[in-house]
A and B are shown apart, each in its own frame.
Chain A
Amino acid sequence: MPTFEQIKSKMQKHTVGIAGAGGLGSNVAMALVRVGIGKLIIADFDVVSESNLNRQFYFRDQLGSKKVEVLKENLLRINPDVEIEIFDVKLDRHNLLTIFGSVDVMVEAFDSADMKELIIELFQSEKPTTPLVVGNGMAGWGESNDLELQKFGNLYICGDNETEIGPSMPPLAPRVLICAAIQANTVMSILLENCFSNEYNPQP
C-alpha cells in the first residue's frame, strides 16, 4: 500500500470539476483538498444561508457571502498550495462545457433532479470519456448502508437512489456527508487507477 506522500504526489497532477457548492459540492471539495488534489474548478451562483449550516462546509460568520468565494477561502486554509478556480455563475447547458471542458473527472453536486439530468445528458454525449460522478438520494437520516455506488460505464451514481428532499425529508449532515464521501472516494479511485497497480489498486 502506498504512503500518503506517494498518494498526494499522484493526486497533485489532476483537476476535478465540481458543479454546485452546496452539501455535496462543498464537502467533496473539502475531502479532495485534504488528500492533495492539484486543482479544483468550482461553480455556484448562491450565497451562504442559515439553512445551509446543517450540512455544508461553511461557517456562521460567512452567512450572506458568495459560496464559491468563501469555499475557496476555507479550502486554502486546509492547503494553501491547492489551485482553485471559481465561477460565480448559474450553470446551464451553455456554460457547463466551457467551464468544465478540460477536467479529468467531473463531480455533479446540484440539488435539483433536472440539473442532474442535464449534466449527465450533456457530459455523457459531449464528453463521453470524462468520468462523471453524480450524487443521487441522500435525504433524512439512518439507513447508512443504503447509500452506495453504482457504476454505469464511466457514469458513477452515488447515493440511495430513493430519498428525495422535501419539507418532511430534509437533507442533513450525516447522510449528505456519506454521499459526498462516496463521491470523493470514487474520484480518488478513478484518478489513482493503475497508479499503484503492482502493490495496491482498489477499484471504484
Chain B
Amino acid sequence: MNIILNHSPEYIEAGKETITVSELLKVKNFTFKMLVIKINDVVVKKDDYLTATIKEGDNVQVIHLISGG
C-alpha cells in the first residue's frame, strides 16, 4: 500500500488492506523506545499500537523523541 510516511510517499509491502501500527514499526525497523505516532494528524496512544490500523493513502508520522532540555 502507498502511504505518506514522515512527509514522504512510501510503498509498504503489506499484502492486505490495512496494517497495524505495530506491523508498520516492525516493517520499517523503527526500534526507538520513545515514539509518538500520528495517523492523519491524530495521535495513536501506545496502548493502541496493536489495534490501530493504517490504510492506503494515510498520512503517518513517526516522531522519535530524545532526551535533553
A64 and B69 alpha carbons, distance in the complex (Å): 19
B residues with a Cβ closer than 8 A to A are: 33-36, 38, 41-43, 45-46, 61, 63-69
Q: A116-B34, A124-B43, A153-B38 are in contact. Are A171 and B69 (CB under 8 A)?
A: yes
A83 part of interface (Cβ distance < 8 Å): no
B61 to chain A minimum Cβ distance, whole angstroms, is 5
CB-defined contacts of A134 to chain B, threshold 8 Å: 65
Q: Once the chains bind, are A164 and B36 in contact (CB under 8 Å)?
A: no
Binds B, one of A4-12, A70-78, A98-106, A136-144: A136-144
Q: Once the chains bind, are B36 and A121 in contact (CB under 8 Å)?
A: yes
CB contacts under 8 Å to B, within A114-168, are: 114, 116-117, 120-121, 124-125, 128, 134-139, 150, 152-153, 155, 157, 161-165
A183 and B34 alpha carbons, distance in the complex (Å): 21
A128 to chain B minimum Cβ distance, whole angstroms, is 8
Q: Which of B34, B46, B67 contacts A111 (CB 8 A)?
A: B67
A109 part of interface (Cβ distance < 8 Å): yes
Interface size on A, residues (CB 8 A): 36
A20 part of interface (Cβ distance < 8 Å): yes
CB-defined contacts of A176 to chain B, threshold 8 Å: 68-69
A residues with a Cβ closer than 8 A to B are: 20, 22-25, 109-114, 116-117, 120-121, 124-125, 128, 134-139, 150, 152-153, 155, 157, 161-165, 171, 176
Q: Which of A24, A124, A137 contacts B66 (CB 8 A)?
A: A137
A116 and B43 alpha carbons, distance in the complex (Å): 14
Q: Once the chains bind, are B45 and A162 in contact (CB under 8 Å)?
A: no
A-B interface, 7 closest residue pairs, ranked by CB to CB distance from nearest = A153-B41, A165-B68, A124-B43, A113-B34, A111-B69, A164-B66, A113-B65
